[in-house]
Structure 1
């Protein structure tokens, strides 16, 4: 017995006054409606209705049960209507995880414009360069950068992420501009500690090789720090253009060994489900798709 169906049958019989009218309202046969009510009485071990050939009469238990059952059914209908509204109109709190440097430099205009288009959606943006567990930590969407491996999550590619090797003009004037990757072993390297070991391709071999000279390497888990250090002349950095692009465009940094540039990574929106996607999530994915341009605006420095 489905208790909700049986409860709805009982309430409809009471409200309509007869099993026949209740059956018409529910789109069922009178026999099935009567069966539902009988099963409900058996489940509760109490008589809810006294039946005669012409009328039905509520028992004392039936009167009490009818009031509570009507409220329960109303609450269920309200809950389902609210869920329908969430699917039809983007609303509610959207929890987003994003990489620190990318979010600081590029997320504020996106989120502002998104909320102007969807004012009923609240934003909870959490910045973290580690790979968050979307389901366990309760995120709707995570923005991730890299070469994504296969998983049960859904990934939407948003933009290419170009890695460039760069240094300040003053550093290159003092220490020379490398013409070949193997010459990098003579230079100070500003290393990002979360860098994918495969991301640097041939450059990574020379930047982190065992034959490097003792040049006082700097390591940080934040790309912005490394780019600022490179601008100050501290060494050579391998960083994405969404961080380094502005400094390159302003002449504060110079791209070196462009012919050995690693294969681009990508920025992805990662989420848990493709079907029955909440409207706030679907709206955000649709909004961010193409927002940064192709090529993205941070690459327009050449």
Structure 2
């Protein structure tokens, strides 16, 4: 008996609800499917299915065996899929979701370089700062920034994301340079409305009772406002790093830098991961350097 074929026959009978439909799916005869399942039961020494003239039902032993059998078959298919990838290479349309500011600033060259390495892969990039439902919305992979909570999704950390407080030299010359969070009273705070609470919480606490703030859901606009002298902003260095390096923004409260976040590649399944997805995630790993290119000003 080929145990793998027998296991696949058992799983298919359960999925299809009958030996006849399972045989059609497996492109074989109902008699052979029945023989495989019977041989598997004999080998295990337990009955896996209760058979009637109309339907089959899992026994208690069958229910327990089914889950492990599915996992074994998934692992085998995954292994064969990966080996096949070595021959066929990455191909097809890769659908990616990414944050607006990060993508506009740092993904153009990345995607160009990836497609030069994998010319058979097309890219459909959708920019959105909300957390998309990868499965429901049909994305292969999503890039996310934050401190990821546990979920059923698989995530690989791609790069660290520093948050810094900064303002223009003109603003600081006029309003003073805060040395501690308690010095922030009276300063203007340019707040990113979609930020996680870890980034900028101390600024919000320090600015209570101060002047009115500017609130927006786009970090690039808030950074431009800060460069123009509108106030103090807390933003990732992938947005403000160049302005800091060029002297258009100056870091303040460096000793009170918020807890760093991370850039993650998030995808739905580890098993049977398509070659195009695996190649893209592997390509991302280390692409931006350590420290990443947007932090070169701080070296």
User: 1: CA distance between counterparts of 2:194 and 2:264?
Assistant: 17
Q: Residue 264 of structure 2: SS of its match in structure 1?
A: strand
TM-score (norm 1): 0.71
- Counterparts in 2 of 1:60-99, with a 5 A limit? 88-99=88-99
Structure 1 residues without counterparts, runs of 5 or longer: 11-22, 29-79
Range 159-168 or range 196-205, more displaced: 196-205
8 Å contact kept, 1:100–1:129? yes
Q: Deviations over 1:22-68 (max 9, x none)?
A: x9xxxx9xxxxxxxxxxxxxxxxxxxxxxxxxxxxxxxxxxxxxxxx
User: 1: CA distance between counterparts of 2:171 and 2:161?
Assistant: 25
TM-score (norm 2): 0.72
Q: Residue 115 of structure 1: SS of its match in structure 2?
A: helix
8 Å contact kept, 1:201–1:263? no
- Counterparts in 2 of 1:147-296, with a 5 A limit? 147-207=147-207, 209=208, 212-213=209-210, 215-296=211-292
- Counterparts in 2 of 1:104-115, with a 5 A limit? 104-115=104-115
Q: Deviations over 1:149-195 (max 9, x none)?
A: 00000010000000000000000001111111012121011110001
- Cα 1:204–1:267 change in 2 (3 A) is farther
8 Å contact kept, 1:87–1:278? no
Q: 1:299 aligns with which of 291, 295, 299?
A: 295
Deviation at 1:88, TM superposition (A): 3.9
Q: Which has the larger radius of gyration?
A: 1
Deviation at 1:199, TM superposition (A): 2.7
8 Å contact kept, 1:86–1:278? no
User: 2: CA distance between counterparts of 1:287 and 1:85?
Assistant: 15
User: 1: CA distance between counterparts of 2:276 and 2:133?
Assistant: 20
- Cα 1:9–1:243 change in 2 (3 A) is same
Structure 2 residues without counterparts, runs of 5 or longer: 1-18, 36-79
Match of 2:141 in 1: 141
- Cα 1:6–1:276 change in 2 (3 A) is closer
8 Å contact kept, 1:97–1:127? yes
Q: Residue 243 of structure 1: SS of its match in structure 2?
A: helix
User: 2: CA distance between counterparts of 1:271 and 1:158?
Assistant: 13
Deviation at 1:4, TM superposition (A): 3.1
User: 2: CA distance between counterparts of 1:222 and 1:6?
Assistant: 53
User: 2: CA distance between counterparts of 1:103 and 1:261?
Assistant: 24
User: 2: CA distance between counterparts of 1:93 and 1:256?
Assistant: 44
User: 1: CA distance between counterparts of 2:26 and 2:133?
Assistant: 41
Deviation at 1:123, TM superposition (A): 0.3
8 Å contact kept, 2:23–2:29? no
Q: Deviations over 1:102-130 (max 9, x none)?
A: 00000000000000000110000000000
Deviation at 1:9, TM superposition (A): 6.2
Are residues 1:124 and 2:124 paired?
yes
- Counterparts in 2 of 1:15-30, with a 5 A limit? none
Count of equivalent residues: 231
Q: Residue 266 of structure 1: SS of its match in structure 2?
A: strand
User: 2: CA distance between counterparts of 1:198 and 1:246?
Assistant: 23
